[in-house]
Amino acid sequence: MADAMTHIATASFTGLSGDYSYNFTSIPATYKHLRFVIGTASRHQGDAAAGADAAFSLNGADTCTTIAGAITSGAASFSGMGSDATAVSNHTKIGSVTGNGFWDGTSGGYNGCGVIDVYNYSNTTYQKPRSYFFTCANGSSTNYGLELGWQNQPTTAAISNLWFDSSSGTGTNGYGSTSYPMHVYLFGIGLAA
Amino acid sequence: MAITRLASLEPTTAATTFSGISGDYECLYVMAQTKCDEASSGATQNSSIYMIFNADTTANYYRQRLYVYGSGNYGGYNAGGSSTSFNMFWESANSYGSYAGWSAAKISIPDYAVSGTNHACQVEATTISETSNAGISNEFAGWTWGGTDAITSITFTNQYSTFTDGTKFILYGLEA
């Protein structure tokens, strides 16, 4: 059936420490949009006790700009994000709530999840916006977080390569729980125009 | 095709359940359209819609929420502890008076079929329940269910009343 979602690749992260990355290479230009579905992520780069950002990231080859977004963590904490090229650099952070620590399995042991959509990734005329939605309700009052945002990757070239990375930032690196790996599923949506 | 429609429910009772959910998929999506059958205004005018997994009614659910309602009301919220269910809508649309609106939601549950670890899910919900600003809301929420079994059933319960005709829950499976 045309315009359905089609599985392209799956990355599995099982490490509990160290730096990890996974490169989705040679992404076919067959689809209209890309969707990353991220499940059962219970450890992350950030560390709540250390007050570090969780900088698990989806990278492109050039600098992204956050167009708009919102973050909430804990009870009654809320902030908006405006245009901010500095804070997000060249990647989509997953869980940038300082000191909160999305997906911190060391504290609550509860998982988070997330979705990233990359729109019109294969066109060669327009820049490439992304939207993302990450959440964690971790069982501890200091380890709740939700982040909703929109970014723009300013390339006009077709995107054929995106990678997940934990090699920057501070805190406890690693993905996956003690009992189950973290999965990142990549899907293609619809047919290219 | 990687996304498959598994089942649909059109309840007019107070509760409804997807049961015997296949473990053959990587992620579940539920698309919901709801309205509550409210005959009067007041405290029961706008019901919450609750969701539980595997009939677990213990205090085993945790939430972080980002919301906006009416004109200029927005913020973040969590209860700082556990609940006995997911609160899918803070206030669902209702049939009282001339209120014509509906609530709509998308629920994502990745890796629902695994066991041995707890389960995270996300809810995006919108309610246009009244003609006034107060009944208009958008909500994004992350939830964790502390249970570690594979999810095989999902139950939706109306807080105060029954669902009206036209309420619909559709379950999809996303396959890698």
Domain spans in chain B, listed from the N-terminal domain onward: 3-39+49-174
- HEC secondary structure over chain A: CCCCEEEEEEEEECCCCCCCEEEECCCCCCCCEEEEEEEEECCCCCCCCCCCCCCEEEECCCCCEEEEEEEECCCCCEEEECCEHHHHCCEEEECCCCCCCCCCCCCCCCCEEEEEEEECCCCCCCCEEEEEEEEEECCCCCCEEEEEEEEEECCCCCCCCEEEECCCCCCCCCCCCCCCCEEEEEEEECCCC
pLDDT tens per residue across span A11-44? 887 655 555 677 888 899 999 999 988 876 655 4
pLDDT band at B174 (very low <50, low <70, confident <90, very high): very high
Is the Cβ pair A137, B62 closer than 8 Å? yes
Distance from CA of A104 to the nearest CA of B (A): 13
CB atoms within 10 A of CB A179: 15
Nearest CA in chain B to A135: B142
Do B63 and A42 count as a contact with CB atoms less than 8 A apart?
no
ipTM exceeds 0.95: no
Q: pLDDT tens-digit profile of A121-130? A: 999 999 888 8
Chain B residues with CB under 8 Å of A187 CB are 2, 174
Percent of residues, chain A, with pLDDT higher than 70 = 47
Residue linked to tokens 């992260």? A13
Which chain A residues have a beta carbon less than 8 Å from that of B117? 40, 42, 111, 177, 179-180
- pLDDT reported for residue A17: 56
pLDDT at site B131: 54
Average pLDDT over chain A, rounded to whole?
67
| Binary contact (B64, A146; C-beta < 8 A) | yes
Q: Tell me, what's the pLDDT at A53?
A: 40
Which pLDDT score is estimated for A85?
Answer: 39
Q: Would the pLDDT of A70 be above 80?
A: no
What's the confidence (pLDDT) of residue A129? Answer: 86
Residue of chain B minimizing CA distance to A178: B117
What's the Cα-to-Cα distance from B145 to each of B54, B120, B149, B169, rounded to whole Å? Answer: 10, 6, 10, 20
**pLDDT at res. A164:** 74
**A112 CA to chain B: closest CA distance, Å?**
5
Alpha carbon of B2: minimum distance to chain A alpha carbons (Å): 5
Q: Residues B95-146: pLDDT tens digits?
A: 776 666 788 999 999 999 988 778 889 999 988 766 555 567 888 988 888 8
Query: In the block, which residue shows the tokens 């677990």?
Result: B56
With bands split at pLDDT 50, 70 and 90, how would you rate the model's confidence at B20? very high
B41-94 pLDDT tens trace? 666 566 788 999 999 999 989 888 888 877 778 887 776 668 888 888 767 777
pLDDT band at B26 (very low <50, low <70, confident <90, very high): very high
Percent of chain A at pLDDT > 90 equals 13
Give the SS3 label for residue B39: coil
* pLDDT-based confidence at residue A190 (cuts at 50, 70, 90): confident
- Exposed, middle or buried: residue B138 (CB in 10 Å: 0-12, 13-18, 19+)? middle
Which two structure tokens, joined as six digits, stand for B100?
């014509």
pLDDT, position B128:
75
What pLDDT was estimated at residue A148? 80
Give the pLDDT score at A98.
Answer: 32
Confidence at residue B129, expressed as pLDDT on a 0 to 100 scale: 64
Q: What was the pLDDT predicted at B79?
A: 65
